[in-house]
A and B are shown apart, each in its own frame.
Chain A
Amino acid sequence: MAKKTGIEVSLGISEAVKLADVDAIAAYPITPQTHIVEHLSELVADGELNAEFIPVESEHSAMSVCAGTAAAGARTYTATSSQGLALMNEILFIIPALRLPIVMTLANRALSGPISIWNDHSDLMSVRDTGWIAIFAENGQEAFDLTLQSFKIAEDHRVLLPISVNIDGFTLSHVIEPHEFLSQEEVNEFLPPYQPLVQLNPDKPVSMGMVGIPEIFFEAKKAQDVALIESKAVIKEVFKDFGDRFGRYYNVIESYRTEDAETLLLTMGSISETAMEAIDVMRDEQGRRVGLLRLRLWRPFPVDELREMVKGVKTLAVIDRAVSFGGTGGPVAGEIRSALYSTADRPYVASFIAGLGGRDVTVKDFMDMAALAEKMEAEGEIHEYKMIGVRE
């Protein structure tokens, strides 16, 4: 096994961006993402990374600059969190419509208010319909690996879409843990230089970002939707290529001890690792038939894989890290109920919201949620969603 390096997850991501040999970075510092771009600016200043680092006065400008550099054909990277992402909102919609393959780390943090710098998924959920590919990492190694893979996915001419690589703020971004890095040679072989399909070039002028009159707008949006849905095949292809080369395989939905499971928990992000501990306790010490699904790909939503993986399961407990205020379920649970509604033999879907604004979700919480979901299923309880671990 290759030697492991003990390093902060944020710095591991910076290392991946450096190995990807990006051409342009535009970012504005915001907690808890700051260490990533801070380190990248050092690498550029020290001459270790030959890229333009463009400091800007806001995240709106950061994403606008990224649009420009990506349109000019530069491999482009940025990172943000929470309010920073909110400030980018206007431009976020334009990037996929222009088919610009920007890679962005989103260190997930609660949106204000009350002001919170701590982790949940409300920032990502606020940009659900912008048309970005959204991938989740559960630990530092995955954050490193998925950052590299994201450039390859985004820049594939069958995709040409931006990707957010989501890492839980603080829970991942500020943790020192073991990483197995790849060498520059290995990365160069895996990730060839970016070849833009169309780029801004004074010698060959093109127009980008034109008005879409009613006669063409709808078709443009359909084309964008098709591109996002079809990106899943490329994502799976790149996951396999990466696995074949380096031995670390990724899936659009990961599973853990799902064999013969009657009840499944479903999580996204770093709480999945704590959930695995809970599954071990429930299986090994209590003999319960409980397993775990971990949603790696949030957009495009892996509908087919989900339907396949819940076949024969009685109860599915979905754990959301965001609220859709006054809605019919947590954002992930709502999606899953919708995906399963037309299937004949669907499980009972319990929607739990937990861990908002940095509240810990413990092994016991997962065990409690599994038991509660089973009880709700047995009683046929009709509900929209329940909040877990909140004082009332």
Chain B
Amino acid sequence: MIEVRIHGRGGQGGVTSAEMLAIAAINEGKFAQAFPSFGPERRGAPVVAFARVSDIKIRNRTKVYAPDIVVVLDPSVLSIVNVEEGLKDDGLLVINSHKTIEELRREYGFKTEMAQVDATHIAMEELGLPITNTTMLGALVKGKEIISLDSLVAPLEKRFGRIASRNIKAMQRAYQETVVAGKES
């Protein structure tokens, strides 16, 4: 089972990222859960959403305490939230930032496997908005192929309707542009 935690700010669509991931996995015949950090939504405040993807039925209904993958939608939460909290030793940290992996490692001391993409830049060009929830799905799948990128197309089409194609393009572009670097020894 792969457990995912998504960091963003209220209103940035982190819950939607988790939902799209779970629906895509279920469409592939896998088992999956997606859920918000339960509670009132607070626009702008740091929030998290969770997803689990597995080949067998998922029974654990607690929060995700030891994620395999952490996705950071908004680089501004890096300085106020410990995004590495509970991340497994062989886990993956997927970050939206214009900084390189080396710069991020220096600044925050990350040692784990990392995937980096400037998702805000891509989202501004493709969507005209700094909303990176769909873009970062491309980065996540590039970092670890827990589902195929193509499986995300149908859920995105269903959710986003007439603006789906732009979101899909942003996601596919992120997949191409994401840089992945292994764990530091």
Contact = CB atoms under 8 A, between A and B. Distances in A.
Contacts of B36: 174
B31 A274 contact: no
A255 to B, nearest CB: 15
Nearest to B34: A176
B140 interface: no
A191 interface: no
A117 B40 contact: yes
A77 interface: no
Contacts of B19: 8, 176
Q: Specify the main secondary structure of chain B where it touches its partner.
A: mixed
Contact of A360 (B25, B31, B62): B62
B34 A175 contact: yes
Nearest to B36: A174
A16 B40 CA distance: 27
Given A32-B38, A178-B26, 9 more contacts: A5-B26, A6-B32, A175-B61, A177-B31, A177-B58, A274-B61, A358-B38, A362-B65, A363-B60
A52 interface: no
B59 interface: yes
A36 B19 CA distance: 17
Interface residues of B, number: 26
A361 interface: yes
Nearest to A362: B62
Interface in B1-47: 18-19, 22-27, 29, 31-36, 38-40
Contacts of B155: 6
B166 interface: no
B111 interface: no
B22 A176 contact: yes
A277 B32 contact: no
B88 interface: no
A6 B151 CA distance: 13
B62 A276 contact: no
Which 10 interchain pairs have the tightest Cβ spacing?
A: A6-B26, A6-B23, A170-B38, A273-B59, A176-B34, A175-B35, A360-B62, A178-B26, A176-B22, A177-B33
B61 A270 contact: yes
B38 A178 contact: no
Given A6-B27, A270-B61, A274-B62, A174 B35 contact: yes
A6 B22 contact: yes
Interface in A154-210: 170-172, 174-178
B144 interface: no
A170 B62 CA distance: 11
Interface in A319-377: 358, 360-363
Interface in A237-283: 270-271, 273-274, 276-277
Nearest to A276: B59
Given A271-B61, A276-B59, A117 B33 contact: no
Q: Determine which residue in B35, B39, B61, B63 has the highest number of CB atoms from chain A within 10 A of its CB, and name it.
A: B61
Contacts of A175: 33-35, 61
A4 interface: yes
